[in-house]
Amino acid sequence: MAEAEAKAQDAAGQEAERELVRYEARGGVALLTLDDPPANTYTYEMMQQLDRAVLRARMDEGVHVVVITGGGEKFFSAGANIKMLSEVTPTFKYFFCLHANETLSRLEQTPKLVIAAVGGHCVGGGLEIALAADLRVARKGAGKMGLPERSASRARLS
């Protein structure tokens, strides 16, 4: 196993113990909170947890609305964890991006109302998460929203 993949596996083991996506359901609403301070950047582990949370809300007959938000006040999500991406192989990066896209597609296709409650910066892949929701609600002055990548060709924008 390559050294970069070993680092990713070590990080995965540490993050697998942490709850990176909090799930709470009550009164017909499932609240999914991205919780990896300070910027709620996502890793493979967070995407796995988000995927499970989306499926959990989808299959819960008592849930009619899904709200996704970021933990803390400064960030909804700053997108993919650049440090993690810099330490993995191109193959891992490809499959990571594929899984993230599949997860956001599942969120987008969920037959329940999905609301992104944006209370902080929402950039890069974080904006892609918000765009996968049916509605986006942002707090005035919450922060920046956009795609910083120069070659941004995002399917959710078309």
Residues with active-site annotation? 128, 149
Residue 42 DSSP code: B
Picking from 84, 158, 86, 97, the residue whose alpha carbon sits closest to that of residue 125 is 97
Radius of gyration of the chain (CA): 15
Q: And the tokens for 21?
A: 């996506």
Cβ–Cβ under 8 Å, residues 93 and 85: yes
- Spatial separation of the C-alpha atoms in residues 89 and 128, rounded to whole Å: 23
Cβ–Cβ under 8 Å, residues 101 and 92: no
